[in-house]
Amino acid sequence: MKHPASTAVEDRSPPYSPPTAMPYRSWVEVSRAQIAANFEAIRSAVGPSVEVMPVVKADAYRHGAVEVSRVLEAKGARWLAVSNTEEGIALRDAGIQARILVMADFLPFTREAMLAYDLTPVIHSLADLAELNRLAVTRSVRYRCHLKIDSGMGRLGVRNNASEIAASIREASEVEVEGLMTHFASSANYTSEQTDEQLEYFEQLAAELRSANLCPSVLHASSTIPIAYGRTPAWKQMVRPGHAIYGYISPARGHAPPKILQVKPALSWRATVLSLKDVPAGVLVGYGGMFRTERLTRLAVLAAGYADGIPHRLGNRGSVIVRGKLAPIVGAVSMDLTTVDVTGSEIKVGEAVTLLGREGNTSIDAQQIARWAGTISYSVLCGIHARVKRIYI
Ligand SMILES: *Cc1c(COP(=O)(O)O)cnc(C)c1O
């Protein structure tokens, strides 16, 4: 079985910096300083007139939402975005005071808690806007919300025309619609017109609301890609970077302008060697006998598997870093275990290897793992299971 050509960066010469062993089967190390540096880089890329609202949904792409939010708040973030009420409550319970925008909720059974915890809902239908107003009237409070426009992605957001939206905003007199937002479906694809079309739709709608004196003051549309490739007309008053906060910018398709943002991954992922053994040529390895050794081989069994988030698709395809060098994953990735070929290495049981991160000049990032696994880097990061310990450095 041959491994696909690797594009991971490898330097076969020592020195490398071995990961410190930890009393965990598998863990991630998140650099607070790198999160802060990425946030700063985004802020200076967009300049002082554009608010940066980091997206910390999905437990901050598994970096740990509470810790990441603390870093960002300490660095001056005034807004954070999550997907649902539960994520927002976790931040409030941890003492986060920044405004929190809940981008994909307002379900009937979460509304009460959302408002009680001072989370700001994104409203996706005019009926929900009326409902929020009804709640505000009943309680004699003013609620704030952001209204999402479906400008062509066909997912969340209202598709009504400007006069219907204007009428609903006017009707919802006890709700302050402070934000108007939309989301792009194809912002990384510079061979597609979709982003320009969506932006034009959004701007046209905002202009019509403005002429009725009903346009919210904060317009936002840009996630990482439109920031990183400098699509300045899409920045408006606020941007919503997620991926870039964690150090990633996906490659663009077509004739993309040069990147105006440099960020670095903040997370490294390690696993401990549970067992080592030497086997002769001709031995089958793992479920399904997917790999057969071709020579005397030293196998290392790592204490992490697909239940920890190592994509099952890395079986016979991916690599990890062992003492500064790439070592191929051999056989199927199992639920709790992964086997690598460490022939020629002096690695010992209890030592750590790097699943994602850097040792010396050898590195593997989430984009590399995604290429091996046939998925996207977002999914690799979000796939790191909660049972993998988080360590903040
Ligand atoms: C997740 C999300 C973002 C952040 O996207 P990245 O590509 O990670 O920067 C921004 N806006 C919305 C609506 C999202 O759901």
pLDDT score for 328: 98
Domain boundaries, the chain: 32-246, 266-392
pLDDT score for 124: 97
Give, as one character, the DSSP assignment of residue 18: P
Q: Which atom of ligand 1 is nearest to the CA of 244?
A: 9
Neighbours of 93 (CB within 10 A): 10
Amino acid in position 71: V
For the record, the structure tokens of 202 come out as 């959004």
Helix axes 32-46, 65-74, angle to 10 degrees: 50
The catalytic residue among 16, 57, 143, 246 is: 57
For the record, the structure tokens of 372 come out as 């091996």
Flag whether pLDDT at 12 surpasses 60.
no
| Spatial contact of 243 and 81, defined as CB atoms under 8 Å apart | no
Mutate to test the pocket of ligand 1, among 57, 106, 240 (most ligand atoms within 8 A of CB): 240
pLDDT score for 298: 98
| CA 325, 330, 332, 338 torsion-angle sign | negative
Residue 209 to residue 96: CA distance in whole angstroms? 33
Among candidate residues 128, 87, 95, 91, the one with its CA nearest the CA of residue 111: 128
b (16+ CB within 10 A) / e for 203-238: bebbebbeeeebbbebbbbbbbbbbbbbbeebbbeb
> What is the Å distance from ligand 1's center to 241 Cα?
6
Helix axes 162-171, 194-211, angle to 10 degrees: 50
| Cα 55 to Cα 69, 148, 245, distances in angstroms | 9, 16, 8
Neighbours of 331 (CB within 10 A): 24
Task: Give the mean model confidence (pLDDT) for residues 291-314.
Answer: 98
| Spatial contact of 36 and 245, defined as CB atoms under 8 Å apart | no
pLDDT band with cut points at 50, 70 and 90 for residue 19: confident
325 catalytic per annotation = no
Residue 115 main-chain phi, psi, to 5 deg: -75, -35
Determine which helix (DSSP H) or strand (DSSP E) holds 60, and give its type and residue range. helix 57-61
Q: What is the pLDDT of residues 183-199, one digit of tens each?
A: 999 999 999 999 999 99
Neighbours of 258 (CB within 10 A): 7
Topology of domain 32-246, CATH: TIM Barrel (3.20.20)
Task: Give the mean model confidence (pLDDT) for residues 2-31.
Answer: 74
Neighbours of 288 (CB within 10 A): 10
Mutate to test the pocket of ligand 1, among 120, 223, 250, 379 (most ligand atoms within 8 A of CB): 223
The alpha carbon of 243 is separated from its chain's Cα centroid by a whole number of angstroms, namely 5
Residue 380 to residue 370: CA distance in whole angstroms? 6
> What is the Å distance from ligand 1's center to 183 Cα?
8
- Model confidence, pTM: 0.94
pLDDT score for 1: 46
The catalytic residue among 16, 190, 248, 287 is: 287
> What is the Å distance from ligand 1's center to 56 Cα?
9
Residue 8 to residue 13: CA distance in whole angstroms? 15
287 catalytic per annotation = yes
| Spatial contact of 164 and 126, defined as CB atoms under 8 Å apart | yes
| Cα 65 to Cα 134, 373, 391, distances in angstroms | 32, 26, 13
Flag whether pLDDT at 15 surpasses 70.
no
CATH architecture of 266-392: Beta Barrel (2.40)
The alpha carbon of 317 is separated from its chain's Cα centroid by a whole number of angstroms, namely 24
- Residue 19: asked if its preceding bond is cis (omega within 30°), the reply is no
Residue 79 to residue 100: CA distance in whole angstroms? 6
Q: Which atom of ligand 1 is nearest to the CA of 241?
A: 9
| Spatial contact of 339 and 329, defined as CB atoms under 8 Å apart | yes
Among candidate residues 326, 330, 323, the one with its CA nearest the CA of residue 348: 323
Flag whether pLDDT at 330 surpasses 80.
yes
pLDDT score for 14: 55
Flag whether pLDDT at 18 surpasses 90.
no
Q: What is the pLDDT of residues 347-392, one digit of tens each?
A: 999 999 999 999 999 999 999 999 999 999 999 999 999 999 999 9
Flag whether pLDDT at 10 surpasses 70.
no
Question: Measuring from each residue's beta carbon to the nearest atom of ligand 1, which residues come in under 6 Å?
Answer: 55, 57, 103, 183, 223-224, 240-244
Q: What is the pLDDT of residues 150-208, one digit of tens each?
A: 999 999 999 999 999 999 999 999 999 999 999 999 999 999 999 999 999 999 999 99
Task: Give the mean model confidence (pLDDT) for residues 29-49.
Answer: 98
pLDDT score for 20: 86
Give, as one character, the DSSP assignment of residue 49: T
Q: Which atom of ligand 1 is nearest to the CA of 181?
A: 13
Residue carrying structure tokens 């010469």 = 13
Residue 9 to residue 5: CA distance in whole angstroms? 12
| Spatial contact of 86 and 74, defined as CB atoms under 8 Å apart | no
Looking only at the bridges linking them, the beta strands covering 319-322 and 267-279 are unpaired
> What is the Å distance from ligand 1's center to 166 Cα?
26
